[in-house]
Amino acid sequence: MRAVVQRVKSASVEVGSAVVARIGPGLLVFVGITHDDGADDVRYIAAKILDLRIFPDGAGRMNRSVVENQGSVLVVSQFTLYADCRKGRRPSFDAAARPESAEALYLDVVRLLGESGLTVATGVFQAHMDVALVNDGPVTMLLDSRRTF
């Protein structure tokens, strides 16, 4: 499982012409799922998101988590995180999990994040979404439950 975590001042998701989710300060998280992801990957990604110390403390150092900051989290599914662009000009998405299995794991990540007590919003699984954000910093982190990077 992979995640792109962005510290944001605000973020929103629009489907069609309707805003379906909006948060203030916190994290925008894009989550991608591969074929053999499971419960361990879900727990790893959710815990990392909650515990990442990427918010400034009183001295301006990145030393606080989203939980400590009482921020919000907007979680958006993104199968393209498993795109393979090494060969040719058209990405291959063979490593991305099928939607039927990916959705359950995506919802498990959302559930675990919500159990932290934070406000958690989501995009619409498998929808074409317009995602808007004001990146704070900018601060962007890449996570992989297999620790490949």
Residues designated as active site: 78-80
Query: Do residues 62 and 55 make contact, with C-beta atoms less than 8 angstroms apart?
Result: yes
Q: Which residues pair with 119 in a beta bridge?
A: 72
Please say whether the beta carbons of 127 and 21 come within 8 A: no
Task: Please tell me the distance from the alpha carbon of residue 48 to that of residue 62, in angstroms, as a whole number.
Answer: 15
Q: How far apart are the first and last CA of the chain?
A: 12
